[in-house]
Amino acid sequence: MNRKTGFLALCLFSTSVAAYYCPPYMTPTFLTQMSTGFAQLKATFTTGLNTLDTSVSSALQLERSMILGAIGVQTQQEAVNASNIAHADMEIARTTASAIGAMKQSDRIKDTALNYGAAGQGYNPCLVLNERRTITETQEKDKEIRADMVFQNVTAGTGKFANPIKAQDEALKLHHDYFCTSEQAAAGLCLSVGEMQGANLQASTLFEYSSSTDKYAMAKTSFINNMVGLPDAPLSATAAKTPRGQEYLRQKFEKDAVISPALNSLMAIQSEFTATPNGTESGQPVKPLRQQYREQVDRYLGHGEEYKNWNRSLVGQTERGVLVEILKEGALELAIMGNKHAQNERIESMLASLVSQENKKVNSLTNKNLAGSATAPK
């Protein structure tokens, strides 16, 4: 409405309108015509303005619809882009996770191959394990049969009675057949020099590797029998019940107990340097226990082919493989220390036996002196 009023005022005050028409002033006809003209002009302008308003409103409405449509399309596109970005991020995360998982799996496979394969188990694990198991089994078996070996192989073993004359004849015959020395043969004590002359008279024979059935084994047993001496003669049941028989048995028991530490130590040495008769190792007789230990030590400190193979294998070992080898060496050292402890126990028992014998001698001399003093003339 304001626009219409302004437009009418513009027309009223326009110089061109005044110049175009100058009617008489303030006449009724003029006033009527002016009113009619103004009314028509007002209607024309009103119609034009309404048409303009309608056109502008339509244009604005169309433009608004287009803008809203464009905004909707843009919003939808942004939503699609956001969805695509989220999907891409998810795919990237999944791919990254898969790659990390594959890398970790590859690392685990690599670690497993290195640590639990040939490079992570130390030198020839199957061979070493079998050798260590054989050593343990041989050692346990030696402990079990040692007492039986004393009773079976030693003629004058503890708790045994035998005819000393017969035992002497058998010992001499064995010596003359296999162990006669050149000096003894020259003196006519035997017919000829034996294959292993003097072997049953030398302590070094005990420290020779041998099987349980060869001549070295026979020489070891003969040497121990020569050290122990002849057996004690058996007693009849009647004689054993007499006072002298009882004293004889007491002295026999005492002698057996005193000599048992030495017999145990001698048989321990013999068993350690003699192959186990019944055991097998890869289809072959088990080597002597001391030889098995010697081979284990030579692998780490020797200069033979086994040492060279072991030394070469360390180059390709991982850190775990080297640690395994260190543990193997430590276990071997502990086993050797255990053997040394067992040897010290045997030495301790033999020292106790010597003390017992010395004490018996002292007591015997003391008793004789006391008896002599009691019977001496006054």
Strands (E), the chain: 280-281, 284-285
Query: Do 40 and 147 lie in a common domain?
Result: no
Q: Is residue 216 in some structural domain?
A: yes
Answer left, alpha or beta for residue 281, where phi above 0 means left and psi between -120 and 50 means alpha: beta
141 with 243, same domain?
Answer: yes
- Residue whose C-alpha is closest to residue 154's, from 212, 216, 223: 223
Higher pLDDT among residues 122 and 170, named by residue: 170
User: What pLDDT, in 10s, does the model give residues 267-276?
Assistant: 999 999 998 7
* 190 lies in some domain: yes
Is the pLDDT at 232 greater than 50? The verdict is: yes
Please indicate, yes or no, whether residues 150 and 290 belong to a single structural domain of this protein. Answer: yes
| Domain limits for position 236 | 126-358
- Asked whether residue 177 is assigned to any structural domain, the reply reads yes
Whether residue 147 is predicted with pLDDT greater than 60 in this model: the reply is yes
69 in any annotated domain: no
Give the least confident one: 39-43, 294-298, 321-325, 374-378.
374-378
Q: Is the pLDDT of residue 52 over 70?
A: yes
Helix (H, G, I), strand (E, B) or coil at 161: strand
Average pLDDT taken over every residue of the chain: 84
Residue 75 lies in a domain: no
Within a domain: residue 337?
yes
Q: What span, in angstroms and rounded, lies between the C-alpha atoms of 286 and 314? A: 28
| CA 357/CA 101 separation, integer angstroms | 78
Same domain, 199 and 325: yes
- pLDDT at position 373 is 52
CA 198 to chain centre: 50
Residue 205 has what DSSP assignment?
A: G
Q: What is the pLDDT of residues 324-345, one digit of tens each?
A: 999 999 999 999 999 999 999 9
Instruction: Report if residue 228 sits inside a domain.
Output: yes
